[in-house]
Amino acid sequence: MAAITWGLLGPETLPSERRTRTLGLGTTVRLFNDRAVPGLGGVWFGKQLLLATLGVATAERVRNSGKRAQNIEVANAVEALACWLALDSTGWNRDPRLRGALKLSGKKDLSFATVSKRTFYVTQPMRQATVQPLRALGMVESNGERFNAFRCMNQGEAFIDAACAAFKPHKRSVLDHLVMWARGVHDDVKNSWELRRALSPLEPISENASEFLRERIVQGGGTEASRRRKALEWVETLRDRKGQVEWTEKPPMLDEPHWRDLHAGALFFAARDAAISLLDEIESHMGNAADRRMSIDAAPPGAVVEKLESLRSHARAFLDGKYDPSPAGEATAFCSECAEQLDARLLETLLLREGHVLRQRGRDIVPGVAFRGNLASPANAARSPEEDGAEADIGQLIPLPEGISLRVRNLFLLNLDFRRQLDKWLTGPADNNGTGR
C-alpha cells in the first residue's frame, strides 16, 4: 500500500490500494450528484465548512507571517483539534459528526507540531468533502480544485466572523488564536471552553452563520443555484414527514428535468451498488475456497447467481428509463455491460473495471492486491469523499425516495443543522419515522 493516502502532509492524490471500488465511474457519479444538488459536495453539517474555512484562513495568515504552512496540513490539524476537544468533553463518546475516536484516544500533546503530523489523525478527514462547496459557495478562490491552492475570500472571512464572533479564547478571536497555535507561539488549546464551543462539531454554528450559509446556498441565478434553492425548499417540507417519499410523488417545487435527473441517478446508483455487492459475494466465496480462486466459465455458486440476477435487474431498470445525461453515455454503457445475459462475459467486463480487489488470470478470477477474502466491503465502499456525508445508517432514516443521491440526504441534514435540530434528530427516539432515532 502507498505509504501516504490523503495524509496531513502528503499530496492530495496518490496511488492507493484502498478498497474504494469506483469501477471507473467516478465522472458519472459526480455528474449525477451535481445534477441533484450542485456544488454541495459531501457536506451535511455547517461545522464541516467552518473548520475547513478556518484551516485555509489560518494557513494563509501563517504564510503571511513568513512561516511555511500548507492548507491541507493546517486544515486537517484544525479538524483534528476540533474532534479531540469534542471527544474529550463527552467522555470519548462516538458521534457521526466526529472522526478519529480511536486514533485520538490517549493523545495529550496538542501542540501544532504534534497535531499536524500525519500519524496524529485519520487519513480521510472531513475536509475532503468540502473541496467543491468551498469554491461553489464563494468561501475561497483558486485556479483549480487543489485544496492547497485555495485562498480565503471575503465571503469566507465573513462566514468565520459570523460563526466565531461570540467566542474570545484567551481574549483573542478564534482565528487569531489558531494562527498563534499554528505558528508555535502558544500551545494552550485545551483549557478554553470558548475555543471548544467554537470548533466542536457537536456544537451547531451560530444562527447568524447558519443564515449566512443558507444565503450562500440559495443565491445566484442559473440552473445550479435554482436547483440548490428548490432542493432546499423540498427538504424543508420533509422535516416532519412521516413515511418515505415514493418516486411517483414529484415535489411541486422541483421541475421535471430535475426530478428526471434525480430518478435516473437513483437507478444508476442502484446498478452500481448491485455490481459491488456481486464483487463482494465473489470475494467472500473465494476467501472460503482452498485455492482462493473462482472459474469464470464454471456454473457460479447459488449466492453469486442471485447477485448476478439482481445486478441485471437493476441495470435493466436504468436502461428501461431511456434517459442518460452522462458524458458519452457512460451510465448506459455500464448498465448495458451489467445486463449481459452470459455470466462469463458479464464477469469479464466487470473485472476489467474492478482490477485491484479481484482480477482475471486466464479463465479464473484471482485475488488482487486489496483482496480481503470473506470480509465484505462497507456499505459506502464505492463512494468518494465527496459522496460521503453522514454515516451510512443515518441515511436510512430520512424519508427520501429510495436510492436518491446522497447529496439530497446531506442537504436534508444540513437544513436540520440550520434549524438547530440536528442534534435532537440524531439522538431522538426511533419512532419518529425519519425525524429522529
For residue 355, the model assigns a pLDDT of: 78
The pTM assigned to this predicted structure is 0.88
Q: Per residue in 209-229, is it b (16+ CB within 10 Å) or e — as a string?
A: bbebbeebbeeeeeeebebbe
Q: What is the pLDDT of residue 5?
A: 28
pLDDT of residue 386: 45
Cα R_g (the chain), whole angstroms: 23
Predicted pLDDT at 6: 29
How many other C-beta atoms can be found within 10 angstroms of the C-beta atom of residue 297?
A: 10
Residues 115, 181: Cα–Cα separation, whole Å:
11
Helix, strand, or coil (residue 107): coil
Those residues whose C-beta lies under 8 Å from the C-beta of residue 35, and which sit 6 or more positions away, are 227, 258, 261, 262, 265, 325
Q: What pLDDT sits at residue 317?
A: 98
Res 209: pLDDT = 97
Angstrom distance (rounded) from CA 123 to CA 224? 31
Distances, alpha carbon 80 to alpha carbons 51, 239, 386, in Å: 10, 31, 19
Say what the pLDDT of residue 397 is: 77
Provide the pLDDT for residue 187.
Answer: 79
Q: Which run of H or of E encompasses 361?
A: strand 358-361
- Residues 184-232 pLDDT 10s: 998 789 989 999 999 999 999 999 999 999 999 998 778 999 999 999 9
Q: Let me know: does 9 contact 114? Beta carbons within 8 Å.
A: no
pLDDT of residue 1: 32
**Residue 328, SS3 per DSSP:** helix
pLDDT score at 347: 97
Q: The C-alpha cell of 411 is what?
A: 442537504
Which residue ranges of the chain lie beneath pLDDT 70? 1-19, 374-396, 428-437
The pLDDT of residue 375: 57
